[in-house]
Amino acid sequence: MANSAALQYPGNRERIDYLDGWRGLAIAFVLQEHFLKLAGYDSGFLGVDIFFCLSGMLMSHILFERRVSLAAFYKRRVSRILPVFVLFVLAVYGTAAFFRQPFTPTEFLATLFFLRTYLPADFGIWQTSLPIGHLWSLNVEEHCYVLLGLVTLLALSKGRIALLLLLLGFAAIGIQYAYEHGLIPEPRDGEIRTETAAAYLLLSAGYSLVRERVSPYVKPWMPVCAFLAAMPFYWRSMEGGIAEFVTPVLLAFAVNHLRETGDGLRRALAFGPLRLLGIWSFSIYLWQQPFFQYKAAMPPGVAFAGALLAGIASFYLFENPIRTWLNRNW
């Protein structure tokens, strides 16, 4: 969700553009869920899961194929994520303090340090009245960055790293299954905690390391069909059962084999407005939440327009300038 295709994916400009467009499609699903909801369909989760799979693929390429140093990797993560994230958190909690909305120091610190899906244990991230419910996905992503960094410290071959990541991804699916079927006690909001939601990122990261062995056999229609096959499982009537097993595999396959799709699809994903939406996606994702949460108090369409404008303004006035400065001077 917070990755830059322009910096992190090998290849030509067209390839970078269509990955940004893919990210634009993902944030479009989130916005549709929040501002033009289709009853019974979890398009917001679909968008986030697309982000996770793309992030896993890109991070795996950086750490396990390009072998970028951990220092350089984490510097880029810090410059990309922390400035605008900290600004958002301070804005939310500062506004809450000004209007005397109650919150505890533990809530604030847990939010700031990407632990809000775990702390406080008795007051989950979706139970607070503050517009931070969407930050669960950033918690998952940051935890996975730490995990992937630790994996680089192991003296393992690329093939064994792939196997380890795939096993961890399937273990996360197994934990989700165990939670849903009462095999182990499910904690509050178990479906958005890292031990379950990381399945998408980890499976995509692991699969990306063996992708080249499969690519010669992948036809252009296969990634498209995999994505289309995953979509029905986001109907709430399809939750449980095989959904938690099928959707991570299908989306990881689709994302990792985008470059095997036809030129027409890649050009469509590289379409200017969609690509720009992808470039703006992190700021939009952060700042859309207050507009979503308080949209009932706004005239129709105002919340959606406000979410877009706030995200775009955040990108040009803060996120991109700060990141550029940090990357140049740090």
Q: Give the C-alpha separation, 17 to 59, whole Å.
A: 18
* Burial class of 103 by CB neighbour count within 10 A (0 to 12, 13 to 18, 19+): middle
For residue 44, the model assigns a pLDDT of 98
- CB within 8 Å of 256: residues ≥ 6 apart: 53, 57, 204, 207, 208, 211
**Is the entire prediction scored with pTM above 0.85?**
yes
- Token pair for 306: 């406000």
Q: Give the C-alpha separation, 142 to 62, whole Å.
A: 16
- Summarize pLDDT for 45-55 with one digit per residue, the tens: 999 999 999 99
Q: Angle between the 43-60 and 243-256 helix axes, to the nearest 10 degrees?
A: 50
For residue 114, the model assigns a pLDDT of 98
pLDDT tier at 215 (50, 70, 90 boundaries)? very high
What 3-state DSSP class applies to 41? strand
- Summarize pLDDT for 75-98 with one digit per residue, the tens: 999 999 999 999 999 999 999 999
pLDDT at 315 over 50: yes
